[in-house]
C-alpha cells in the first residue's frame, strides 16, 4: 500500500534560497565578503583526488575542535550545519506530542522540526518594546515540558540573557527536568557564551555553526556540545559521513590560525560601527545588533523597500512583520564596511517620503 506521511504533506517549508548569487546578499546572515581568497587558495592547494574520492574522516578535525574549545571529543558531535544538530536534539530528547518551549519570533526551524515530529511547540512572545521577560519563559517550564530552546544571542531580535536571567531559567529547567538547548549560531559577534554549562553539566546542549562568522555556510558544518551520554544519542541519529570533508579542512584552517579569526571579527566590527553610526546620523531607529544582523525601522513602507532594494539596487534584505513597536521593519545582515556603505547609500536613495 502506498503511503505518504500526512504530517510531512502538511508541513510548510520555504525553499527560497536559489538564484541569489548575483545579488549582494544581506538576507540570510551570511558573511557577504567571505574568507580572504588567499585562505581559500591555501586550503584547496592541498586537496588531492583521494581526498575527494574518500569518505570524510572526522577524528583529526574533532580533536582540533576540542582543543579549540578546551574540551575533549566526547563532548562534541559534528553535524551538517547546526540546523541538523537542532533536529537531532528534538528527535532524541522529546516525544510525540512532547512539550517544547521556545521564544518567538525566532529561527523558524525550531517550529518546523517540532511540527515534523508532531511535537507541541509552546511560544513565548516578546514584549512590544522587543524585550523578553524571562518570567514568561519560566512560567512555561511545567513538569511535562521536555525541551526549552534558547538562543544566545537571539535571532532575529539580537537580544541576550544576563547571567542572572540565565541562572534563573536554568534553575527552573532543572527543577522540572527540562533539557535545555542553547543555540549559539551567532557566537563571536557577541562574546558571551553559555558553553561551559554544556561542557560541565548534564541535560544542556549548545549548538554552534561555521556558517556565520566563520563564513562557511556553503560547506555546511556545525557542532553540538553537551554531556557525553547526551552526545552519544545525537551521534546515533547522524547519517553516515554527515560532515563534508572540505568544510572540515576550511574550519580546521580557521581554528588553527588565530589571525584569520581576528581578521574576520575586526572586519565585522568595522562594518557594524559604520552601519550603526550611519543609521544614528540619519535618524533611523534600530535594534538588536548582538548578532550579525540588525532591525531597522524605515520611514516609508518596509516591504516596498525590500522589493526595490532587490530590483533597483541588487541587494537582498528581509522584512519582518509585527516586530513590536517597530511594526513591519527591515532585517539586514551586517558585513564588511564596503557592503554596509553600499546598503546605506541604497537605503538613503529609496527610503524617501
Ligand X SMILES: Cc1ncc(COP(=O)(O)O)c(C=O)c1O
Interface residue list for ligand X (CB under 6 A): 29, 81-83, 107, 151, 155, 183, 185, 209, 211, 217, 222
The β-bridge relationship of strands 99-104 and 293-296 is unpaired
The β-bridge relationship of strands 329-333 and 293-296 is antiparallel
Looking at the Cβ atoms of 107 and 205, the one nearer to ligand X is 107
Looking at the Cβ atoms of 250 and 284, the one nearer to ligand X is 250
Looking at the Cβ atoms of 222 and 271, the one nearer to ligand X is 222
Looking at the Cβ atoms of 172 and 185, the one nearer to ligand X is 185
Rg of the chain (C-alpha set)? 21
> Shortest distance, CB of residue 29 to ligand X, whole angstroms?
5
Looking at the Cβ atoms of 107 and 161, the one nearer to ligand X is 107
> Shortest distance, CB of residue 79 to ligand X, whole angstroms?
8
Q: Which residue has the cell 526595490?
A: 308
> Shortest distance, CB of residue 171 to ligand X, whole angstroms?
24
Q: Which residue has the cell 559521513?
A: 241
Looking at the Cβ atoms of 103 and 350, the one nearer to ligand X is 103
> Shortest distance, CB of residue 211 to ligand X, whole angstroms?
3
What is the number of H-type helices and E-type strands within the chain? 14, 13
Q: How far apart are CA 250 and CA 247, in angstroms?
A: 5
> Shortest distance, CB of residue 345 to ligand X, whole angstroms?
26
Assign residue 283 a region: left if phi > 0, alpha if psi is -120 to 50, beta otherwise? Answer: left
> Shortest distance, CB of residue 260 to ligand X, whole angstroms?
19
Q: How far apart are CA 106 and CA 101, in angstroms?
A: 12
Asked whether the CA dihedral 71, 76, 80, 85 is positive or negative, the reply is: negative
Cell of 350: 529609496
Classify residue 310 as exposed, middle or buried by CB count within 10 Å of its CB (0-12, 13-18, 19+).
Answer: middle
List Cβ<8 Å contacts ≥24 apart for 32-36: 32/333, 32/335, 32/336, 32/339, 33/215, 33/267, 33/335, 33/336, 33/338, 33/339, 34/215, 35/215, 35/216, 35/250, 35/254, 35/260, 35/264, 36/260, 36/263
> Shortest distance, CB of residue 277 to ligand X, whole angstroms?
25
Q: How far apart are CA 350 and CA 314, in angstroms?
A: 13
Looking at the Cβ atoms of 130 and 174, the one nearer to ligand X is 130
Looking at the Cβ atoms of 146 and 211, the one nearer to ligand X is 211
> Shortest distance, CB of residue 221 to ligand X, whole angstroms?
7
Helix (H, G, I), strand (E, B) or coil at 285: coil
Amino acid at each position: 500500500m502506498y503511503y505518504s506521511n500526512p504530517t510531512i504533506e502538511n508541513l510548510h517549508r520555504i525553499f527560497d534560497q536559489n538564484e541569489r548569487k548575483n545579488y549582494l546578499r544581506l538576507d540570510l546572515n551570511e558573511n557577504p565578503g567571505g574568507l580572504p581568497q588567499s585562505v581559500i587558495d591555501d586550503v584547496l592547494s592541498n586537496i588531492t583526488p583521494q581526498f575527494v574520492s574518500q569518505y570524510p574522516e572526522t577524528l583529526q578535525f574533532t580533536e582540533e575542535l576540542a582543543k579549540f574549545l578546551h574540551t575533549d571529543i566526547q563532548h562534541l558531535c559534528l553535524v551538517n550545519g547546526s540546523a541538523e544538530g537542532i533536529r537531532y536534539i528534538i528527535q532524541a530528547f522529546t516525544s510525540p506530542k512532547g512539550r517544547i518551549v521556545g521564544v518567538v519570533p525566532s529561527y523558524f526551524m525550531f517550529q518546523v522540526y517540532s511540527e515534523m515530529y508532531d511535537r507541541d511547540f509552546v511560544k513565548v512572545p516578546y514584549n512590544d518594546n522587543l524585550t523578553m521577560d524571562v518570567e514568561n519563559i519560566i512560567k512555561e517550564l511545567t513538569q511535562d515540558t521536555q525541551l526549552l530552546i534558547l538562543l544566545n544571542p537571539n535571532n532575529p531580535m539580537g537580544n541576550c540573557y544576563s547571567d542572572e536571567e540565565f541562572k534563573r531559567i536554568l534553575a527552573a529547567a532543572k527543577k522540572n527536568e527540562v533539557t535545555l538547548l542553547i543555540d549559539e549560531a551567532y557566537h563571536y559577534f557577541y562574546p558571551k557564551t553559555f558553553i561551559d554549562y554544556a561542557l560541565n553539566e548534564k541535560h544542556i546542549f549548545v549548538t554552534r555553526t561555521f556558517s556565520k562568522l566563520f563564513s562557511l555556510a556553503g560547506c555546511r558544518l556545525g557542532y553540538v556540545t553537551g554531556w557525553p551520554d547526551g552526545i552519544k544519542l545525537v551521534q546515533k541519529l547522524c547519517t553516515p559521513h554527515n560532515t563534508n570533508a572540505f568544510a572540515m579542512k576550511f574550519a580546521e584552517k580557521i581554528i588553527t590560525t588565530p589571525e584569520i579569526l581576528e581578521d574576520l571579527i575586526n572586519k565585522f566590527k568595522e562594518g557594524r560601527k559604520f552601519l550603526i553610526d550611519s543609521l544614528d546620523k540619519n535618524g533611523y531607529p534600530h535594534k538588536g545588533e548582538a548578532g550579525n544582523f540588525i532591525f531597522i525601522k524605515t520611514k516609508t513602507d518596509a516591504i516596498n523597500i525590500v522589493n526595490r532594494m532587490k530590483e533597483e539596487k541588487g541587494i537582498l534584505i528581509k522584512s519582518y512583520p509585527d516586530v513590536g513597536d517597530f511594526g513591519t521593519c527591515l532585517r539586514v545582515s551586517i558585513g564588511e564596511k564596503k557592503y554596509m556603505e553600499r546598503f546605506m547609500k541604497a537605503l538613503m536613495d529609496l527610503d524617501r517620503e
